[in-house]
Amino acid sequence: MNGPERTDILAFIEARCGRRLTLSQEADVLAALDADGDTATAFMDSFAAAFGVDLTGYEPRFHHRDAASILRPGWPFAPPHLFGVRLPVAVSTLAQAAQSGRWPVIYPVLTVAPSRQWLNVPLILIGLPVLAAAGIAVLRVL
**DSSP letter string, 124-138:** HHHHHHHHHHHHHHH
Name the residue among 126, 108, 83 with its Cα closest to residue 134: 126
What integer pLDDT is reported at residue 79 of this predicted model?
59
Of the chain, the end-to-end C-alpha distance in Å amounts to 78
pLDDT, tens digit, 9 for 90 and up, residues 28-74: 998 888 887 888 889 999 999 999 999 998 988 888 877 655 555 56
The partner residues of 102 in beta bridges, in order of sequence, read: 54
Q: What is the pTM of this model?
A: 0.68
d(CA 84, CA 65): 11
Given a contact cutoff of 8 angstroms between Cβ atoms, the answer to whether 4 and 99 are in contact is yes
- Which of 34 and 114 is assigned the larger pLDDT? 34
